[in-house]
Structure 1
Amino acid sequence: MLDPHRLTVFRSVVASGSVQAAADNLGLTSSAVSQHLAALQRETGLTLFQRAGRGIVPTEDALVLDAQSDEPMSQWDRLEQVVSDLRDGRSGRLSIGYFASAGSAWMPALVRRLSAEYPDLVLELRLNEVEQRGPRPDLDLAIDPPDTPVPAGLRRVDLTEDPFVAVLPRDHPLAGEDEIALADLRGETWVSNDYPSAVGHRLLVAACAAVGLRPRFTVQAQDHHTAIGFVAAGVGVSVMPGLAARGLPANVVRVDIAPPAPVRHLSAVVRRLGASTAPTERAVQLLQDLIAHPSTMPRRRVR
C-alpha cells in the first residue's frame, strides 16, 4: 500500500523541481526527502526521477503518477479534514464552486445564511473559472445549456437565465435607450470582459455573428470588474451578463439588449455522494430564493 505522506513528499518534489526546494517547503531535511523518494520507488517498482546535470527531473512514469494521484490525495485530505471536524465537534464540510459574477452577486448572502443556519458547518469556496486539481466541489455553480449531459454521480438543478446587457458610459448616445440591438454597437470600441475560451465570450461572439456583427475588441480586460472600469473611463463599451453588470459607478449605465440577445443558462451541479445532504440541499434552496427575490441581496446601485 502506498504511503500518503511519501506521496505528498514526491508530489512536492515534482511541483518544486528539486529535493532541496521540496525540503524547504515541507520543513524537512533534504536527506529525509531523498529517503522518502527512495522508499516510494521501492514500493512502486518504478524509476521516478533521473539525474539531469546537478539536479533531478521526473520520469514519464513520475508525471503519470503525479497526475493520477490528484484525486486520491484530495480525497485523503478530505478524509483527514473529516476526522479533524469530528474531533473538534464540527458537523461537516461543504465545498462550493462559483464563477466570478455569481461570487459577487450571490455568494456573500448565501454564505451568511448558511453559516447562520449551520454554525458548525465548514465552508470551502472555490473560484471554478480556473483549472482545479482534485474532485469537483459538492455544489458547483455552472454555465451550461439545459441539455448538457451530466456526468455520472452528479445532478443538475437549473437556476436561472442570465441575459447579456450593454454597459455604456452615461454620456453615450445610446445610454438613454430602454433597449438596443447588438447591431447598434457596430463600429464601437469593445472591451472584453471574459477569457476568449470562456462560455460567456463564445456566446457573445456567436450572437454577434448571427446578426452580421464582428466586435472590435480593442481592450482585453478578461473580467467584468476591470471591463466596467474601462467603460467608466470612456475607453469603450462592453456587453456582459446582467449578473456581472451590478454595482456600476455613477458614470456608467446598463441597457437591455433586444432579442436575439445572448443568454447564459445558470445551474447548480450537485454531487450525489459528498457533503451532508441537508446543507447541500439548503444551499440550493437559498440560491433559488436569492434569484427569485433579488431584493434580499446586498443593496448595490444599478441602473
Structure 2
Amino acid sequence: MLDVRRMQVLRAVVTSGSVTAAAANLGYTPSAVSQQIAALEKEAGIALLERFGRGVRPTAAGLLLTEHAALIGRQVAEAETALADLRAGRTGQVAVRYFATAGADLVAPALARFRSEHPGVRVDLRIAEGARPDPEADVTLVVRGRGARVGEGLRLVHLADDPYRAVLPKGHRLADRRLVDLTELADEPWVGSERPGPCLDAVLEACAAAGFSPDIAVECEEYATAQGFVAAGLGISLVPLMGLGSRHPNVVVRRLRGPEPVRSIHAAVRESSLALPPVRGLLTALQEAWSATSATRPAPRPTAKAAP
C-alpha cells in the first residue's frame, strides 16, 4: 500500500525540481527526503525519479503518483474545511424528534430562530413514535419527572414546565372563577385526556397531593376530543397549556392551584451530540421559545367574581 505522506514528499520534490529544495520547503533534511522517496519506490515497485542535470525529474510512474498526490492534497484540504465548518456549526445535520403538542408553542418558534442562526445546517424533524428517546436522533423531546434518568449515552436537558389547566363546560359552577383549587374538582366526573405515562403521572401525583384520586368517567387520550366531551357536559378535564392551542367554544379554561399539575418537558440529547454547536444552539432556542411564548400569553380575563 502506498503511503500518502510519502506521496506528498514526492510531489514536493517534483514541484521544486530537487531533493534539496524540497527538503528546505518541507523543513526536512535532504537525507530524510531521500529516505522517504526510496521507501515510496519500494512500495510502488518502480523508480519514481531520475537524475536530470543538477536536479531530478519524475519518471512516468513518478508523474502519475505526483498527480494523484495533488488530488489527494486538494481532497484533504476540502475535508479540513468541511470539518472546520461542521465544528463551527456552519454545516451539518441535526436529527430532532418531538411529540405533537410541543409543535406549535415550542418547536416551531425554536426552529425558526435556529434556521436564521444556522442557515447551513439541515434539520431532520419528525414526530416521535412513543415516549422513549429515538436512539438515532440527536435530540428527542420527552416528558419526564424532575430527577428522571434516560438510557446510556443520553442526557436530559430541561426545556419547559407545561402547567395543566382545568377545562370546564360553560355554565359550570366554577366557570366564573379565575383560579380553581384542585380539591374542588375531587367529586367531579373526569374526562381523561392522557394515556398512561409521565403526562398522566403528573396529573395523578397532583391529585394525590390534594388528597383524592380522580373519577375517570370518560377516557379519550386526546386533548381536542377531551374538550368535546367536556363541552357536552360529560365531565371536566385537565389539559396542559401546549395542548390548548385550539379551544372548543363551549368550554372555559381556568388556572389551578393546590397544587398546580405540571408536566416537565426535557430534551433527551445524545452525549456525543452535546459538543456540537448546532445542537447547543437548538437547545437554547427551545428553552427561550417557551419563555417567550409564556411571556406573551394573555392573562386570564377578570370575571364578575373574584378568586377566593
TM-score, with normalisation over the residues of structure 1? 0.60
Change (3 A) 1:300 1:106: farther
Inter-partner Cα distance in structure 1 for 2:133 and 2:205: 30
- Counterpart position of 1:105: 105
Within 5 A, what are the aligned runs for 1:45-194?
Answer: 91-128=91-128, 130=130, 135-194=135-194
Which secondary structure does the structure 2 equivalent of 1:293 belong to?
Answer: helix
Structure-2 change in CA distance of 1:130 and 1:300 (3 Å)? farther
CA distance in 2, matches of 1:169, 1:206: 24
Contact preservation (8 Å) 1:100, 1:129: no
Cα shift at 1:302: 7.9
Give me the identity figure in percent: 33
Instruction: Give per-residue Cα distances to partners, 1:166-194, cap 9 Å, x unaligned.
Output: 11123212112121122212332211111
User: How far does residue 201 in structure 1 lie from its aligned partner after superposition?
Assistant: 0.9
Work out the CA distance in 2 between the residues paired with 1:301 and 1:252.
17
Q: Distance in 2 between matches of 1:252 and 1:217?
A: 18
Work out which of the two has the higher radius of gyration on C-alpha atoms and give 1 or 2.
2
Where does 1:237-248 land on structure 2 (aligned, <5 Å)?
237-248=236-247
Name the counterpart of 2:283.
284
What is the TM-score of this pair, normalised by structure 2?
Answer: 0.60
**Superposed CA RMSD:** 3.1
Task: Provide the residue aligned with 1:234 in structure 2.
Answer: 233
Secondary structure of 2:248 counterpart:
coil
**Is the alpha carbon distance of 1:135 and 1:259 closer, same or farther for their aligned partners in structure 2, counting shifts above 3 Å?**
same
SS of equivalent residue, structure 2 residue 272: coil
Equivalent residue, structure 2, for 1:31: none
The residue type equivalent to 2:224 in the other structure is H
Q: 1:265, 1:281 → 2: CA distance?
A: 20
Deviations 1:85-129 (A, max 9, x none): x9xxx9322111222321232122222333333334332223335
User: Following the alignment from structure 2 to structure 1, what is the Cα–Cα distance between the partners of residues 96 and 110?
Assistant: 11
Structure 1 pair 236–129 and aligned structure 2 pair: CA distance change class (3 A): farther
Contact 1:190 1:236 in 2 (8 A): yes
Pairing 1:205-284 to 2, within 5 Å after superposition: 205-274=204-273, 277-284=276-283
8 Å contact from structure 2 (residues 273, 279) kept in 1: no
- Give the distance between the partners of 1:235 and 1:133, measured in 2 at CA: 35
SS in 1 for 2:168: strand
Question: Match of 1:259, as an amino acid?
Answer: G
Query: Any conservation in 2 of the 1:247–1:300 contact (CA below 8 Å)?
Result: no
Task: Supply the distance in 2 between the matched residues of 1:131 and 1:144 (Cα, whole angstroms).
Answer: 10
Matched position secondary structure for 1:279: helix
Query: What's the secondary structure of 2:108's corresponding residue?
Result: helix
**Alignment size in residue pairs:** 213
Contact 1:93-1:275 at 8 Å conserved across structures: no
Gaps of 5+ in 1: 1-85
